[in-house]
Amino acid sequence: MTDFDPAQIKAARRDGTLKLLLRQQIAEGKARLGDTPAKDWPTSGRRRDVNGTTCPHCHAGPDQRCHVLSRDKTLPKPHQQRLAVWAQTVACCTTCQAAPGQRCHNDNLPLPPNTVHARRYQEAEETAA
Protein backbone atom coordinates (compact mmCIF):
# COMPACT_ATOMS: atom_id res chain seq x y z
CA MET A 1 0.00 0.00 0.00
CA THR A 2 1.52 3.33 -1.06
CA ASP A 3 0.36 6.89 -0.62
CA PHE A 4 2.27 8.17 -3.63
CA ASP A 5 0.17 10.59 -5.65
CA PRO A 6 2.00 12.12 -8.64
CA ALA A 7 -0.53 14.96 -8.95
CA GLN A 8 0.00 15.93 -5.32
CA ILE A 9 3.80 15.92 -5.78
CA LYS A 10 3.55 18.12 -8.91
CA ALA A 11 1.26 20.57 -7.13
CA ALA A 12 3.64 20.76 -4.16
CA ARG A 13 6.57 21.44 -6.49
CA ARG A 14 4.64 24.26 -8.15
CA ASP A 15 3.66 25.77 -4.79
CA GLY A 16 7.15 25.39 -3.31
CA THR A 17 5.87 23.19 -0.46
CA LEU A 18 7.48 19.93 -1.53
CA LYS A 19 9.78 19.68 1.51
CA LEU A 20 6.87 20.25 3.87
CA LEU A 21 4.80 17.60 2.06
CA LEU A 22 7.64 15.07 2.26
CA ARG A 23 8.23 15.76 5.96
CA GLN A 24 4.53 15.25 6.64
CA GLN A 25 4.51 11.98 4.69
CA ILE A 26 7.50 10.76 6.70
CA ALA A 27 5.74 11.72 9.94
CA GLU A 28 2.59 9.87 8.92
CA GLY A 29 4.63 6.82 7.91
CA LYS A 30 6.39 6.74 11.28
CA ALA A 31 3.05 7.11 13.04
CA ARG A 32 1.70 4.18 11.05
CA LEU A 33 4.68 2.09 12.10
CA GLY A 34 4.12 3.03 15.73
CA ASP A 35 7.45 4.87 16.13
CA THR A 36 6.08 8.22 17.23
CA PRO A 37 2.79 10.06 16.89
CA ALA A 38 2.60 12.31 13.82
CA LYS A 39 1.95 15.40 15.93
CA ASP A 40 5.26 14.93 17.82
CA TRP A 41 7.43 14.54 14.73
CA PRO A 42 9.13 17.83 13.74
CA THR A 43 7.62 18.90 10.42
CA SER A 44 8.84 22.50 10.47
CA GLY A 45 12.55 21.58 10.48
CA ARG A 46 13.26 23.91 13.44
CA ARG A 47 14.75 22.66 16.66
CA ARG A 48 16.49 24.37 19.55
CA ASP A 49 19.88 22.64 19.24
CA VAL A 50 22.72 23.50 16.85
CA ASN A 51 22.32 20.30 14.85
CA GLY A 52 18.73 21.24 14.02
CA THR A 53 19.92 23.89 11.55
CA THR A 54 21.48 23.52 8.14
CA CYS A 55 25.08 24.71 7.92
CA PRO A 56 25.40 27.60 5.45
CA HIS A 57 29.11 26.84 4.95
CA CYS A 58 29.22 23.12 4.16
CA HIS A 59 25.45 22.58 3.66
CA ALA A 60 25.27 19.76 6.21
CA GLY A 61 21.61 19.14 6.92
CA PRO A 62 19.88 18.67 10.25
CA ASP A 63 21.36 15.81 12.31
CA GLN A 64 24.49 15.79 10.12
CA ARG A 65 27.90 16.86 11.33
CA CYS A 66 29.77 19.63 9.56
CA HIS A 67 32.46 18.46 7.17
CA VAL A 68 35.41 19.77 5.18
CA LEU A 69 34.26 20.73 1.69
CA SER A 70 37.39 19.60 -0.18
CA ARG A 71 37.46 16.08 1.28
CA ASP A 72 35.25 13.65 3.12
CA LYS A 73 36.19 14.49 6.71
CA THR A 74 33.70 15.34 9.45
CA LEU A 75 34.56 17.99 12.02
CA PRO A 76 34.31 17.56 15.80
CA LYS A 77 32.63 20.98 16.21
CA PRO A 78 30.16 22.79 13.93
CA HIS A 79 31.26 25.66 11.69
CA GLN A 80 31.05 29.17 13.11
CA GLN A 81 28.45 30.10 10.49
CA ARG A 82 26.17 27.29 11.69
CA LEU A 83 26.49 28.48 15.28
CA ALA A 84 25.63 32.03 14.19
CA VAL A 85 22.52 30.92 12.28
CA TRP A 86 21.43 28.83 15.26
CA ALA A 87 21.89 31.74 17.68
CA GLN A 88 20.05 34.05 15.28
CA THR A 89 17.02 31.76 15.04
CA VAL A 90 16.81 30.85 18.74
CA ALA A 91 17.61 33.93 20.81
CA CYS A 92 17.11 37.68 21.05
CA CYS A 93 20.22 39.84 21.00
CA THR A 94 20.61 41.86 24.17
CA THR A 95 23.25 44.10 22.56
CA CYS A 96 21.19 45.44 19.64
CA GLN A 97 17.69 44.21 20.68
CA ALA A 98 17.22 42.11 17.51
CA ALA A 99 14.36 39.62 17.75
CA PRO A 100 14.81 35.91 16.95
CA GLY A 101 15.17 35.49 13.21
CA GLN A 102 16.46 39.04 12.64
CA ARG A 103 20.10 39.91 11.92
CA CYS A 104 22.19 41.75 14.48
CA HIS A 105 23.08 45.35 13.73
CA ASN A 106 25.28 48.21 14.90
CA ASP A 107 23.57 51.62 14.76
CA ASN A 108 20.98 50.23 12.29
CA LEU A 109 23.70 48.91 9.95
CA PRO A 110 23.40 45.10 9.70
CA LEU A 111 26.40 42.95 10.58
CA PRO A 112 27.87 40.79 7.82
CA PRO A 113 25.86 37.65 6.98
CA ASN A 114 26.17 34.74 9.43
CA THR A 115 27.65 36.87 12.23
CA VAL A 116 26.03 37.83 15.53
CA HIS A 117 27.06 39.62 18.71
CA ALA A 118 28.86 37.51 21.35
CA ARG A 119 26.07 38.04 23.91
CA ARG A 120 23.57 36.41 21.54
CA TYR A 121 25.45 33.10 21.74
CA GLN A 122 25.10 33.16 25.52
CA GLU A 123 21.38 33.93 25.25
CA ALA A 124 20.94 31.05 22.77
CA GLU A 125 22.65 28.61 25.13
CA GLU A 126 20.44 29.75 28.00
CA THR A 127 17.31 29.48 25.85
CA ALA A 128 18.20 26.00 24.61
CA ALA A 129 18.99 24.69 28.10
Which comes out higher in pLDDT, residue 30 or 75?
75
Per-residue pLDDT tens over the stretch 15-24: 888 887 877 7
pLDDT value of residue 11: 86
pLDDT value of residue 34: 57
Spans of all domains in the chain = 1-44, 47-129
Residue 32: band (very low, low, confident or very high) from pLDDT cuts 50, 70, 90:
low
User: What is the DSSP track for 25-64?
Assistant: HHHHHHHHHTSS-GGGS--S---SSGGGS--TTT---TT-
Q: Which of 87, 98, 81, 82 is nearest to 122 (CA)?
A: 87
